Structure 1
Amino acid sequence: MPSDTSRIDPVTLALLSGILLAAAALFWPLLDVVILALSVAVVIYPVHRFLSRFMPGAAAAGATVAAVVIVLLASGAFVTLVLARNAEYLIGILGIIADWIAAPTLGEAGALLPIPQDDIAALFAGQAANLKASLSGTAALAPLMGVKIIVFFLTLYVALHKGAEAVKGLASHLPAAFGDAVGRMSKVTVDTLYAIYVVHVATSVITFFLALPFFYVLGYGHVLFYSVMAGVFQLVPIIGPSLIMLFLGIFALSIGDMRGAVLVALVGYPVVCALPDIYFRPLMMGRRASIHPVIMWIGFFGGLAVMGIIGFVLGPLFLALLVAGYATLIRGRRSGSAALILPESPELRSKV
């Protein structure tokens, strides 16, 4: 009886597993960057596939990575230019706020909104100290950050160039009974990553357009500047443009503009900050990922709390896979078969 050469020897499997675990332990500080690069590769893979029609796969992968670099550099340059053109304006506002902290005055509304000077000064002093410590820590980690950036783009290139081939090779060694379940999990992974990245950018664009009329009505000028900053801050997980509203609220109080302070509190924060996150983001993500928006939010907050910034991606992804696995199990039991042991008949398999 001929031997089954497709089976992997247990000793070889154990050796490969040991090497994989050892590599994960040794490269643990870079694991978040690798995972991030792989997730980005999944989202932009259609671009690589399109370019592969006109050039070799390696060149298409290089061109896709180059496009990502150009987009990131262009975005960074645009934000830097906007900040540079409004630097004097921001310095002036900071000067007004600093003077107000030294001697806070709220005009006629002071009796209605008492703010202890010592508390305000202590708050700003604490925030300044935290910012200084954060900048010092970032400067100390600059060499490691440079290495992580290089690893990110190299991993992104390899994933685009050889990722599909590696996935097909791995799938070819899986038992046939797992094929349907693996296919469903792959679809859930792609849809969830698409929802995380693409919807995240779409939410930032929505924030920009919601901010335009608000900052126009607010009346402090520099409408485009504030709107762009609101959209950029929306890309920062959890924090969002709330910092801008806090900044403008303090500025309104420092010049005695109670109308502006009320607008920021009752219109700016609910419409520009909360509405995109509470309504638009869950709506768009839920439609693409086909899971309840509340579960996505649990994934966001839980992932950030447990895994740090990479949890913004892995948290929703793991929960989406958990929901998909549960649905696969229920579907399999209802069809009279185990979730991962599917009928061999294509006709029956299509009904599962």
Structure 2
Amino acid sequence: MLRGGYPDRNVLLVTGAIMVAAAIFFWQLLAIIILAGTLAVILLPIHRQLTRVIHPGVSALLIATLVIVFVTTVISFTIAVFYTNSALIEEIIDTILLWLTTLGASGTPTVGESELNDWIMLQINSLTTWGVSLIYRAPRIVLDILIFLMALMAFLYKGEEIFTETISALPGRLSSGLREISKTVVDTLYAIYVVHVVTALITFLLAIPFFYVLGYDHILFYATIAAMFQLVPILGPSLLMLFLGIYAFSMGDYRGVALIGLVGYPVVCALPDLVFRPLIMGMRASINPLLMWIGFFGGLAIMGIIGFILGPLIIAFVVSGYMLLIRELQMAKKQEAPDTNEGS
């Protein structure tokens, strides 16, 4: 029942209580469901195209299946590359350790071999512990993946329809405000998913010819690490270049050091970040990059890996909400001005 053109307050309270109870009950799955919803927003244009020729339910199932195949392929490829090059990693570490030991013996101040060995063993033990925990959590991980797939299909199948119905049922100004917020959120999700993935792919393609010229073999291994590091905001593959620079210096390969500093960093690290990323970002308006970084690092610090997505998303809500509030306050101020003039 409507009262004065507004929904009944009791109905709103009951509906809100149901939503809050559902969020509390499914709290442990909330991050997975939100992740599926954000990914569905990005995949929605593909879903619209497919529904022109196939049933929407079939389209949602097909897209969800392709997402799992893509993610599984990327993870399997990365693991295979690291496994087949494990001897190379050990060789690089041993070379750097030997170089540091030699420097220490000559009296040059450097990091001690024992300290570096301890740090390396700590990282290996942490990785091993993490791997063992994954084995124990395998049933829960499988269940989470199934829930993610079902949520993704549900959002693709009915998400747009629910959003349209909700927006159309709201008052005019509130409806237009939420549409603006949704646009900012979509642009932010585009920046998170599409821009990062495309920039990482560009980094991978640029790294292949560079590492070929560098002449260290294992080109696919180095290019894969560079692409993975590109997914880390700000730092990017610069850490890889620093590590390889130390490795080249420890072998006395000054040509390699020069190539890494004069070609590797500008082309593989700086070019994707300073040229291609802004170019791709320019295709869709988004929030200030500095705020995006705050969202990335703040989300990672507070929420873990899922914070990489949710952090910038929350920042997008805050920024768009702030802009909407300022606009409403300015409109209210303009409406007050004529009343003030009439009173005088």
TM-score for the superposition, normalised by structure 1: 0.80
Contact 1:106 1:254 in 2 (8 A): no
State the match for 1:232 in structure 2. Answer: 228
Give the CA deviation at 1:49: 0.8
State the match for 1:291 in structure 2. Answer: 287
Structure 1 residues 338 and 153: CA distance shift in structure 2, 3 A: farther
State the match for 1:345 in structure 2. Answer: none
Describe how 1:31-50 pairs up with structure 2 within 5 A: 31-50=30-49
Distance 1:128 1:259 in 2: 31
Distance 2:301 2:262 in 1: 29
Structure 1 residues 263 and 110: CA distance shift in structure 2, 3 A: farther
Distance 1:178 1:93 in 2: 57
Contact 1:106 1:255 in 2 (8 A): no
Structure 1 residue corresponding to 2:217, chosen from 204, 215, 221: 221
Aligned identity (percent) is 45
With 121-130 and 318-327 compared, the bigger mean Cα shift is at: 318-327
Distance 1:252 1:106 in 2: 15
Structure 1 residues 301 and 26: CA distance shift in structure 2, 3 A: same
With 211-220 and 69-78 compared, the bigger mean Cα shift is at: 69-78
Are 1:149 and 2:145 counterparts? yes
Distance 2:187 2:73 in 1: 27
Structure 1 residues 220 and 25: CA distance shift in structure 2, 3 A: same
TM-score for the superposition, normalised by structure 2: 0.82
Structure 2 residue corresponding to 1:116, chosen from 100, 112, 125: 112
State the match for 1:18 in structure 2. Answer: 17
Q: Which amino acid counterpart does residue 142 of structure 1 have in structure 2?
A: A
Describe how 1:76-95 pairs up with structure 2 within 5 A: 76-83=75-82, 87=84, 89-95=85-91
Give the CA deviation at 1:54: 0.9
With 154-163 and 27-36 compared, the bigger mean Cα shift is at: 27-36
Are 1:59 and 2:55 counterparts? no
Q: Alpha-carbon deviations, 1:206-257, whole Å to 9, x = none?
A: 2113323431232202323322332234335676445644653454355443
Equivalent pairs, count: 335
- Structure 1 unaligned blocks of 5 or more: 340-352
Partner secondary structure for residue 284 of structure 2? helix
Describe how 1:124-203 pairs up with structure 2 within 5 A: 124-203=120-199
Partner secondary structure for residue 289 of structure 1? coil
Contact 1:299 1:317 in 2 (8 A): yes
Contact 2:191 2:286 in 1 (8 A): no
Structure 1 residues 245 and 330: CA distance shift in structure 2, 3 A: same
Distance 1:112 1:210 in 2: 37
With 140-149 and 243-252 compared, the bigger mean Cα shift is at: 243-252
Distance 1:34 1:287 in 2: 28
State the match for 2:305 in structure 1. Answer: 309
Are 1:326 and 2:322 counterparts? yes
Structure 1 residues 235 and 100: CA distance shift in structure 2, 3 A: closer
Q: Which amino acid counterpart does residue 190 of structure 2 have in structure 1?
A: Y
Contact 1:282 1:293 in 2 (8 A): no
Give the CA deviation at 1:168: 2.0
Are 1:207 and 2:203 counterparts? yes
- Structure 2 unaligned blocks of 5 or more: 336-344
Structure 1 residues 330 and 104: CA distance shift in structure 2, 3 A: closer
Structure 1 residues 334 and 14: CA distance shift in structure 2, 3 A: closer
With 320-329 and 254-263 compared, the bigger mean Cα shift is at: 254-263
With 159-168 and 288-297 compared, the bigger mean Cα shift is at: 288-297
Distance 2:302 2:153 in 1: 29
Distance 1:206 1:17 in 2: 45
Distance 1:129 1:305 in 2: 22
